[in-house]
Amino acid sequence: MRDELRTLSCTYKCRHDAAADLIHMYAYTKCFFRVREYSTVKSPPVHISPLDLGPKYADKLGPGFQEYCKTYPEDYCLAQLIYWYSQNSEPESRLTRARKGCLSLPDVSSFYVKSAKPGQERVYGNRTVRFMLSRMEKQAQRPWPKDRIWVFKSDPRFFGSPMMDAVLSNSPLDKEMVHWLKMRPNVFLG
């Protein structure tokens, strides 16, 4: 399929070459996984005295106890596992961006658009491929930037990438996969 896609002609709106590269990466991904689905949970109420917060809040909250509940979203557990080191009170807000590229590969629809004008983010040339390979080889844990051709599903059903495989097996990226991406001929310069 990869090689057949590369034989088709490309335009800025229809990047079969980029789709072929993505299919190549999916083919070399060995481990796909799903995140366990959790329901949104609302904590039991906690009663807070204005004195618990300090003297400057005593006047603002008034006398008596205030009731406080926190709602934990579905992806709270995964966010806590990934951002355990961060003191951010809402780590799940960073989760969507963090998994792009390193935990999940782009959607194939990234390379087929309806827009009439190609923007800088639609370019998939040598520079973009070199950047992608550099990120994969040297900074596999970092997310891919959003100012490139890639589009990621906001709520993927499964995760998996060659970078995650490398981490799980405690080894470098698959050399055969990287070699093909580096050595394959360009079919569309744009």
Same domain for 108 and 142: yes
Same domain, 156 and 119: yes
Burial code of 79-97, b = ≥16 C-beta within 10 A, e = fewer? beebbeeeeeeebbeebbe
Residue 90 in any domain: the answer is: no
Q: Tokens at residue 98, please?
A: 């963090």
Nearest of 108, 119, 133, 86 to residue 190 by alpha carbon: 119
pLDDT at 50: 75
Q: Are residues 143 and 113 in the same domain?
A: yes
Distance CA 20, CA 64 (A): 64
Same domain assignment for residues 68 and 145: no
Owning domain of residue 148: 2-36+98-183
Are 110 and 146 in a shared domain?
yes
For residue 155, count CB atoms less than 10 angstroms from its CB and return exposed for 0-12, middle for 13-18, buried for 19 or more. Answer: exposed
pTM: 0.73
Neighbours of 10 (CB within 10 A): 21
Type and span of the H or E element at 68: strand 66-68
| Cα dihedral across residues 54, 60, 63, 67: positive or negative | negative
pLDDT along the chain (190 residues), means of 10: 89 87 94 84 88 73 80 81 70 70 85 67 78 89 81 79 90 93 80
pLDDT at 123: 73
Residue 128 inside a domain? The answer is yes
According to the model, what pLDDT value does residue 122 have? 62
Same structural domain, 62 and 154: no
Same domain? 45 vs 21: no
Q: In terms of Cα–Cα distance, which of 123, 133, 119, 148 is closest to 17?
A: 123
93 assigned to some structural domain:
no
Provide the pLDDT for residue 182.
92
Residue 77 lies in a domain: no
3-state secondary structure of 159: strand
Q: Is residue 79 part of a domain?
A: no
pLDDT at 63: 73
The answer to whether residues 107 and 151 touch, using CB atoms and an 8 Å cutoff, is yes
Same domain, 68 and 54: yes
Residues 15, 105: one domain? yes
> Are residue 105 and residue 151 in the same domain, yes or no?
yes
Q: How many domains does the chain have?
A: 2
Spatial distance between the Cα atoms of 24 and 20, rounded to a whole number of angstroms: 6
Instruction: State the pLDDT at residue 92.
Output: 65
**Residues 126 and 56 grouped into a single domain:** no
Do residues 12 and 102 share a domain? yes
